[in-house]
Amino acid sequence: MHKKLLLPGPTEVSQEILREQTHFLIGHRDRAFSELYGGITAKLRNFFELPEDCKPTVTTSSGTLWFDIVGRSIVKKKALVCINGAFSERLGKTIRACGKKADFIEVDWGKAVKPNMISEKLESGEYDTLAICHNESSTGVRNPIHEVGKKVRENYPDVILAIDSVSSMAGDKTLPAEIGCDIIFASTQKCFALPPGLAVGLVNDRALERAREVPNRGSYTDLVEIFEFEKKHQTPFTPNISLLYALNKRMDLLLEETYDHVYERHKTMADYTQQWAKKHFALFPEPGYESVTVTCIQNTSGKSVRKLNEKLAEKGFMISNGYGKLAEKTFRIGHMGEWKLAGIKEVLAAIEGIWRLET
């Protein structure tokens, strides 16, 4: 039986999108490819209202490639990395694994990183890069990246601001011009509601200038090379053409729905799920910093989340257990991508039935 995915990625993908992957293949140096790919980047530019100095690209990778891109192509001397969950921790470790120095601002899982914590550290002038995760999928915390961006742009013009928007882009508010970031990236198996295998990066000229100054950028992680090929509407290496067809269709659907409506739809689902969670359980994130795309709920019932998921499977749904050390202590409901409020209500009602919660 097909289980509809309410995970914080991969999320449910419609058959309409899945079918797009069955196009006959084209050569990635053929004009037909440049037309397809150039069309996608034009749509990304349009949807994310990119200013002239900010360019989109699509890599054949999951989102984590961009951790390495930041480590290899952006960090010159030293990075400051904000850590408040599993993915931001991996971001920090990856930058170090790329051979770069990195200091961490670490806050407890469930808490957000605040702009004043960052400016205290940036004040030292030691850092050329600030890396932060917008939406910590492991904890359901949404960091205040707009406030962070404002602080960085006003006070630290030489710092490159890199944002992991893996589970928020195309769901939450992530316009680079509004945030003031230099690099922001996402995987397509989250709010873009595609199969895994592609990542979207929005990169401005300041970041590219920085990349030109950084030696040993590697090959797949060389941002300069990636954007050299962008000029021809191509990618340096063979891309996943089938998935690009699917992304092309997704961009049409997103543009049709409009950026504002996409956000409103996600916010409506988040508000509803969070009200429901507060009625029956408690939210895990610090109040005021709840994600718009995934709700992380404290399992105050003491019942087994694993067994809940087994029962939900019989009804055709799958939610997510808590991440790592939060397994069974929390559970997560991903409301992203193609999901709408009616579907979320159905799932929450199913949980009420299985756990016999008061309605």
Ligand X SMILES: Cc1ncc(COP(=O)(O)O)c(C=O)c1O
By CB under 6 A, residue 89 contacts ligand X: no
Residue 93 touches ligand X, criterion: CB under 6 A: no
Q: Which two tokens stand for residue 308?
A: 């809940």
183 CB-near residues (< 8 Å, 6+ apart): 66, 69, 70, 74, 160, 161, 162, 163, 201, 202, 203, 204, 207
The residue from 60, 187, 204, 221 that contacts ligand X (CB under 6 A) is 187
Using the contact rule CB under 6 A, the part of the chain among 61-69, 76-84, 113-121, 285-293 near ligand X is 61-69
Q: Which stretch binds ligand X (CB under 6 A): 16-24, 70-78, 161-169, 330-338?
A: 161-169
Nearest residue (CB) to ligand X, 89 versus 156: 89
What's the closest the beta carbon of residue 235 comes to ligand X, in angstroms? Answer: 17
User: Smallest distance, Å, CB 340 to ligand X?
Assistant: 22
Residue with smaller CB distance to ligand X, 75 or 350: 75
Q: Which of 260, 88, 233, 93 is nearest to 167 (CA)?
A: 88
282 backbone dihedrals φ, ψ, rounded to 5°: -150, 155
The contact mask relative to ligand X for 121-140 (x = CB under 6 A, - = no) is: ------------x-xxx---
Q: Is 11 in the site for ligand X (CB under 6 A)?
A: no
The phi and psi torsions of 131 (rounded to 5 degrees) equal -120, 135
By CB under 6 A, is residue 166 in contact with ligand X? yes
Q: Cα-Cα-Cα-Cα dihedral of 72, 74, 79, 82, to 10°?
A: -100
- Asked if 87 touches ligand X (CB under 6 A), the answer is yes
Rounded CA separation 21/25 (Å): 9
| In contact, 292 and 263? CB cutoff 8 Å | yes
Residues near ligand X, by CB under 6 A: 8-9, 62-64, 87, 133, 135-137, 164, 166-167, 187
